[in-house]
Amino acid sequence: MALQRKMFREGRYKSIRFEDLESGLIYRRIYTGFAWPFSASPGFICVLAEDFKPDYTLQFGPRHLRILSEFESSNLEVLHRRCRQIREEFNLKQILGIEDTPLCEIWNQSKDPAERIYLSAPYCLEKINLNLISQLVRRHTEKGYKTLHFGDQSKLPSYLSALTAEIVEETDIQVYPAIAAFGYCICEMELRKPQKLADGWKNRNRGAMAV
């Protein structure tokens, strides 16, 4: 998949959009989540995209969310290599994850600065838990209102379906790397508003005209 990052204007604001050069699909936001291996559970990488256009055939005109890629491995070197590939493939500036761990120091050891992977803390990290993720999935997969699409090859539905009420209530999110990586992405979509940059050129001209 080859994605091109483009700037576009909406009134006096500028925003980013991502164009899939192969399929022609356009996305408003793309996030990659990464979670470290935990015990016997492999580390997980998830790429989640939000459609550029709302779907007005559904009430309130939501945007569809789509899993574009996922990958799991217990090997830190393999995970590091795949993170670098995904960053380039999807033209991304950041990868969401927890950097404050000795594992992060290990996987960046002996790497050139340009090759290192620096993780960005997910928005409202302290509020992200299994219950929140479960509720967001439920919200996006209600009958007649499906706006979350995993794809036929995704392993996430089986991981999510294994969550029981007891697990959701008592278990830390880090125990389930696949759900954690996905959770970082969907919570970023839901809790953080899309960034809009003020068009400084127009503002400067508006000020000059006022003088």
Q: Are 70 and 40 in contact (CB under 8 A)?
A: no
User: What are φ and ψ of residue 112, in 5° steps?
Assistant: -65, 150
153 inside domain: yes
* Lowest model confidence (mean pLDDT) among 71-75, 112-116, 198-202: 198-202
Domain that holds residue 67: 15-195
Q: How confident is the model at residue 179, as a pLDDT?
A: 97
> Over 70: is that where the pLDDT of 204 sits?
no
Q: How confident is the model at residue 91, as a pLDDT?
A: 86
Given pLDDT bands bounded at 50, 70 and 90, which one contains residue 206?
Answer: very low
137 inside domain: yes
Given pLDDT bands bounded at 50, 70 and 90, which one contains residue 119?
Answer: very high
Q: Number of folded domains in the chain?
A: 1
87 inside domain: yes
Q: 211 or 191: which carries more pLDDT confidence? A: 191
200 inside domain: no
CATH code (residue 160): 3.30.420.280
60 inside domain: yes
Given pLDDT bands bounded at 50, 70 and 90, which one contains residue 196?
Answer: low
Q: What is the mean pLDDT of residues 51-59?
A: 93
77 inside domain: yes
68 inside domain: yes
Here the tokens at position 202 are 């127009």
Paired strand residues for 27: 18, 51
For residues 186 and 47, give the distance between their C-alpha atoms in angstroms, rounded to a whole number: 10
Distance, C-alpha 78 to centroid of its chain: 20
Residues of the chain with pLDDT > 90: what percent? 65
75 inside domain: yes
Q: How confident is the model at residue 39, as a pLDDT?
A: 94
The pTM for the full model equals 0.88
> Tokens 């992977």 — which residue?
117
For residues 38 and 81, give the distance between their C-alpha atoms in angstroms, rounded to a whole number: 19
